[in-house]
A and B are shown apart, each in its own frame.
Chain A
């Protein structure tokens, strides 16, 4: 059932390609704006600035990517899903889809940043692990908030208001972990960040699992 829902998500996305295209363009534009604002000042971009710029731009893309997952112009598909599937299946399908989407955005941002700001990451393997854990944590937290925001009039505004305070701890961990990756430090300098991110993942998935049925009921 979950796989079927996941397949449906991909099909919906594939049919209206302009959403994905918009998202890719959004990420590209953020990267380029950041690059232009540091033009001829590249010496100012040290490890701390690079990681902060990278994760803040990814956070903005992630917000725009996830907020639409419960909105959409799908008419009455919501009430159709309500009859044929359980809340938990739907939540996990949406969450998993959003995490995959964020990982794609992460890879894209990585390429954009490497081209524009130079590839500074010394430890790519650890950075990829950190990135996937961060995307999973962001995807898990933002999917539940998107389902709340979808019920409200100004969904995009509410999504940002609800999302930023909740994602602060995730972004803080990602930024400090990325600094260490740029400095070429190994796992012994990074395990705390990875552990905290893993804990955030576990907490947000468990709490979403408990709470989503109450949102879905309305």
Chain B
């Protein structure tokens, strides 16, 4: 992936997609639904945060596995910076969700299973950074945090994929509430939503790539 980092085309693509998302997301007409009304536009800005977060955490797990197999510092940098970026997107996802919930549900924190699941997912990655902070030996820090990253992800599978399906939720797309598939008739939303998801994921990769390269430069300066 580090050769991919140095290419330019996807950065132009990212900028173009996000400009398109912002303009079209605010201006193109959307379906009228009761209660939700214009807040349906949160789909373009709130939901891509979660797609981005899951993608970043996925990359982070991948590089943690790579680290355990090859023990190179680049994989460790990748794992930690993708986790960092995922955490940032997750916090933005929670904040945009709270903003939306304030207008449609009446209060920012509603104790919804999806909100709680998201908050716990963020706790896991905050714990990951606390663990890293309390280990001094660089090699040990990289290895133990990689192990925790993989283990915590596995432990969260039931929390994210099984338990929310056992409980009722007011969140769109669950508990009988209209979700994305209900708008199938209206493909205009998809024309903005999919580019938005790709754009935000690319932005996340871009942020992580800059952080990884900063870490590499710092390490290089320390070695010199």
Contacts and interface: CB of A to CB of B under 8 A. Distances in A.
A43 interface: no
Interface in A165-214: 165-169, 172-173, 192, 196, 199-200, 203-204, 207-208, 211, 214
B168 to A, nearest CB: 13
Q: How large is the interface on A (under 10, 10 to 19, 20 to 34, 35 or more residues)?
A: 20 to 34
17 contacts: A148-B147, A151-B135, A152-B134, A153-B134, A161-B127, A161-B131, A165-B124, A172-B159, A192-B166, A203-B154, A207-B150, A208-B151, A214-B68, A214-B147, A215-B147, A217-B143, A218-B144
A165 B118 CA distance: 11
Contact of A152 (B124, B135, B157): B135
Nearest to A160: B127
B158 A196 contact: yes
A165 B163 contact: no
| Residue of B143, B147, B154, B155 most packed against chain A (CB within 10 A) | B155
B interface majority secondary structure: helix
Given A168-B120, A172-B163, A148 B131 contact: yes
A176 to B, nearest CB: 8
A146 interface: no
B159 A211 contact: no
B135 A169 contact: no
Contact of B151 (A151, A152, A168, A207): A207
Interface of A: 141, 144-145, 148, 151-154, 158, 161-162, 164-169, 172-173, 192, 196, 199-200, 203-204, 207-208, 211, 214-215, 217-218
Interface residues of B, number: 27
B130 interface: yes
In the complex, the 4 A-B pairs of residues with the closest C-beta atoms, listed nearest first: A169-B159, A165-B123, A166-B155, A165-B124
Contact of A162 (B148, B150, B158): B148
Interface of B: 68, 120, 123-124, 127, 130-131, 134-135, 140, 143-144, 146-148, 150-152, 154-159, 162-163, 166
Contacts of B146: 214
A148 to B, nearest CB: 5
Given A151-B140, A199-B158, A211-B68, 16 more contacts: A144-B151, A145-B148, A148-B144, A152-B144, A161-B127, A165-B120, A165-B152, A168-B159, A172-B159, A192-B166, A196-B162, A200-B155, A203-B154, A207-B155, A211-B150, A215-B147
A211 B144 CA distance: 10
Contacts of B157: 203
A193 to B, nearest CB: 9
A169 B156 contact: yes
Contact of A214 (B143, B152, B159): B143
Contacts of A196: 158, 162-163, 166
A152 B143 CA distance: 13
B127 A204 contact: no
Contacts of B123: 164-165
| Residue of A161, A165, A214, A215 most packed against chain B (CB within 10 A) | A165
